[in-house]
Amino acid sequence: MVGWPRPRRAESATLIDAAHGPRSVEFNCPPAVVTERGGGHGGWGMSGDDRTVSRRTLLRTVGLTAATGALAVSGLLSGGAASGGAASGGAASGDRPFTVRPVTAQEWAAGRGPRYHVAHRGSGDVLPEHSMPAYQAAVDWGAACLEISVGITSNGVLICMHDPTYDRTTTGTGTIIDQPSSVLDSIRIWQPRLGRAWTDNPPRVPLFEDALRSFGGAVVLAVEAKVPQAYAPMMAMVERMGLRESVIVKTYYPSDDLATATAQGYPVFCYFGKADAATSDAITKAAARLNPHRDCLVLPAFTDGAGSFLPDATVAAAVGTGIPVWVFPLHRRSDAEHFFELGVQGAVCSSYGYIAGVVPPVTADAWAGMAIASGEMTRNPSWDGYAPAFTPAGEMVLAAKGSQHFLTMGQCGRVPTSTPGTVIEVDGCWQVLPKSASDGLSIAFGRVDDSYYQHRLGAGDGCHVILRANGELGLYRHHDGEPDGELLSSAASPPLTAGQWARMRITITAHGIAVSRTDSGTTVTASVPVRDGYLHLGRASSDGEAAFRGLRIG
């Protein structure tokens, strides 16, 4: 994946220290923690002799800041024996790979303010969920808390994985707890909806040990045992690595783990997995078991995947308990804002950098990289059926079956379409023509937020352009609550043929909007104001295959 070097697994390495020269450092595993060494899983894509790393790379891997890293390089890394030592366990109880004081959950809670963000599965809308690259990206974007799910293999190895099986997110199959950790040597995390870049270079399934050593103490970790058998060894590893104060226990609201974690003195992330379970009575009962000063009550944001929000009354009932309320999983900035306005404090984000506003806006596409961008979203970013495809030629293809197919270009931010001189340009093409010649390629702009747009949805205000397959070029306004768009101007242009590219240009003038199909010389104009807003590209048809390339904003 361009821009994301493959992370390295915590084990022995040669540390290049400018003051002392090369020296061997052993990252020791705690005793009684089964770890899998050797085979093809000795590193996240490293060959056996590719273990010499720079100081910067090593410190990035253990998740420390530059200042903390200087202490580690100066000799505060534990277990620094050369060859030999405890390659597969043998450190004394409580050993840590560094001795600096870790960030604590209590400190985070005291300073996070009334609205804050938590990284969901790393940032699973943009990078492979529960992978080291996803965790690292969230930390690089400034996440103070990572949510990590933990499974256990038949021989007791703890791994980072949401599901009890390998089927959905990896090239493997079958139940995790029924198979030994040796299967990790031959499987990879596999999520094609994120783009071909991630299937050309898929990351390995990380061990829980790896995540703790890389990020524990640098950020707060909300850890969840996805099967009962994983809870005790998961918490034992947390304790032995000195991370008790840096961990929140994530648990399903009726689980016995809630009472166990509370008795052990851990803060609790108590969640409802489905909207229909979050009744007022269930919320009240769950809240009665929680401490408002350290725990949180976590609700699903949607009733149907990523379309209808959880009812406001349900959210109000949770907020009214006095327990801090979080919602998950959020995909859009508008999602987070909706719940923040209802009194929710924590936004559990599947695209942390985008939703938290860390990623700066761009003025051109990056489709040649063949990976989804942070802020680039389909109707439901977690559903494979809506996923766009990317080509090495820089084309983005929308080919969902049975529904319109639009992509929110959130990575562009709020395009300044109220400013005279602003230009939006993009090439559009029908790779496969729709059955109806009145169906078209579309650009929507001037949308006040990044909520999903498609034709005749009747949600939100803004403007849109349609280039129909029959060649008609139209400029429209759409109004919240009204499925029918308001035609501002239209003109005939040559019909499109399969594989033919048409360049569309939207120009904001002192008098309004001018839309041109530059390959044919056709232009339509309207003397209407337009506000700054979010951009969307799409295929306003339930069939055919549309493609776009060369998006530029200037």
The pLDDT tens digits for 224-269 are 999 999 999 999 999 999 999 999 999 999 999 999 999 999 999 9
Q: Of 62-66, 160-164, 384-388, 440-444, where does mean pLDDT reach its minimum? A: 62-66
How far apart (Å, rounded) are the C-alpha atoms in residues 183 and 172?
Answer: 8
Nearest 5°: the CA angle 355, 478, 498 is 85
Give the side-chain half-sphere CA count within 13 A for 510: 0
Dihedral sign for Cα 509, 514, 516, 522, please.
Answer: negative
Q: How confident is the model at residue 101 (pLDDT cuts 50, 70, 90)?
A: confident
Q: Is the pLDDT of residue 28 over 60?
A: no
- What integer best gives the mean pLDDT of the chain? 85
Q: Residue 307: what pLDDT?
A: 77
Query: Residues 215-230: what's their mean pLDDT?
Result: 97
Nearest 5°: the CA angle 483, 487, 489 is 160
Tokens encoding 49: 């002799």
How far apart (Å, rounded) are the C-alpha atoms in residues 461 and 95?
Answer: 57
Q: Residue 3: what pLDDT?
A: 33
Q: Residue 133: what pLDDT?
A: 98
Query: Residues 277-297: what's their mean pLDDT?
Result: 96
Q: Is the pLDDT of residue 18 over 70?
A: no
Burial class of residue 212 (count of CB atoms within 10 Å of its CB; 0-12, 13-18, 19+)? buried
Tokens encoding 97: 């790979």
- pTM more than 0.85: no
Q: Is the pLDDT of residue 127 over 80?
A: yes
Q: How confident is the model at residue 87 (pLDDT cuts 50, 70, 90)?
A: very low
Q: Residue 196: what pLDDT?
A: 96
| Helix, strand, coil percent content, the chain, rounded in steps of 5 | 25, 30, 50
